[in-house]
Amino acid sequence: MASGSSNRVLCGILGILFGGLGIHRFILGDVTGGIIRIVLSCFFGLGGLIGLVEGIIYLTKSDEEFEEIYVRGGKAWF
């Protein structure tokens, strides 16, 4: 797995650019969350918006906060 900083930046950028595909959730190990983003994008068009918001949140967190909340804590939404 990538270091905390590079993982945070990678997930943030992928969330902003490809949030509807859920790639950032798959990288975090949240397969269910990734599949939910794909379904939301296909049927409701919301996956991209959720990914955009998540990507911005990831990039505004410190490396330590990101690691604690999303990697170790496994938080699935925002």
Q: Is the pLDDT confidence value at 76 over 80?
A: no
CA dist., res. 11 & res. 8, Å (int): 5
**The predicted structure's pLDDT at residue 1:** 47
**Exposure of 53 in the CB half-sphere (CA atoms within 13 A):** 8
pLDDT exceeds 90 at position 60? yes
pLDDT per position as a tens digit, 9-57: 999 999 999 988 999 999 999 999 899 889 989 888 888 888 899 999 9
**Structure-model confidence comparison of residues 12 and 73, the more confident one:** 12
